[in-house]
């Protein structure tokens, strides 16, 4: 199995877990189309990793109650990376968000999740909370992070 096919299988398992757990149904999972994914790439200023592109294609517009109340789905996710850069800069700490960071989730404007575009097809996920002064690694890959989140959600 190629790496892309393996990632596709892992992201499909996220959707399956959401359905199995009753967090979503097949009817309320909706992916982004190619034009919307291209718009997200333009917004981020770089090519998206395979795992994120697959997530967006499968459930980038909505996924039932998964991450309800968090900015994670198209079109609300547009501009999140810029907002995150501003948030970290306002904190007056010794850190700055890496230039290749792609913020894929922000909760109420004070905490966010990101990965780095340079970190491969299925990059590690990092977390930041306002005034913390640090980035915390949450998982070794985006697909694993999403899979675990799908199993931990309500």
| pTM exceeds 0.85 for this model | yes
Q: What is the pLDDT of residue 36?
A: 98
Crossing angle for the helix pair 50-59 and 34-44, to the nearest 10 degrees:
130
Domains of the chain, start order: 3-152 (3.40.1580.10)
Whether residue 61 is predicted with pLDDT greater than 90 in this model: the reply is: yes
**Which SS3 state, helix, strand or coil, does residue 135 take?**
coil
DSSP letter string, 4-51: HHHHHHHHHHHHHHHHHTTS--GGGEE---HHHHHHHHHHHTSPPPHH
For range 140-148, the mean pLDDT: 97
Q: What are 76-131's pLDDT values in tens digits?
A: 999 999 999 999 999 888 899 999 999 999 999 999 999 999 999 999 999 999 99
Query: First CA to last CA across the chain, in angstroms?
Result: 32
């Amino acid at each position: 199995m190629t790496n892309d096919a393996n990632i596709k299988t892992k992201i499909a398992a996220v959707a399956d877990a959401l359905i199995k757990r009753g967090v979503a149904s097949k009817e309320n999972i909706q992916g982004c189309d190619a034009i919307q994914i291209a718009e997200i790439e333009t917004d981020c200023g770089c090519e998206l990793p395979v795992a994120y592109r697959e997530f967006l294609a499968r459930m980038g517009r909505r996924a039932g109650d998964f991450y309800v109340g968090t900015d994670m789905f198209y079109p609300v996710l547009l501009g999140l990376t810029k907002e995150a850069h501003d948030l970290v800069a306002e904190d007056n700490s010794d850190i700055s968000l890496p230039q290749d960071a792609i913020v894929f989730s922000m909760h109420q404007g004070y905490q966010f999740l990101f990965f780095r575009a340079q970190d491969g097809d299925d990059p590690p996920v990092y977390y930041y909370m306002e005034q913390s002064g640090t980035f915390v690694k949450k998982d070794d890959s985006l697909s694993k992070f999403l899979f675990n989140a799908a199993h931990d959600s309500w």
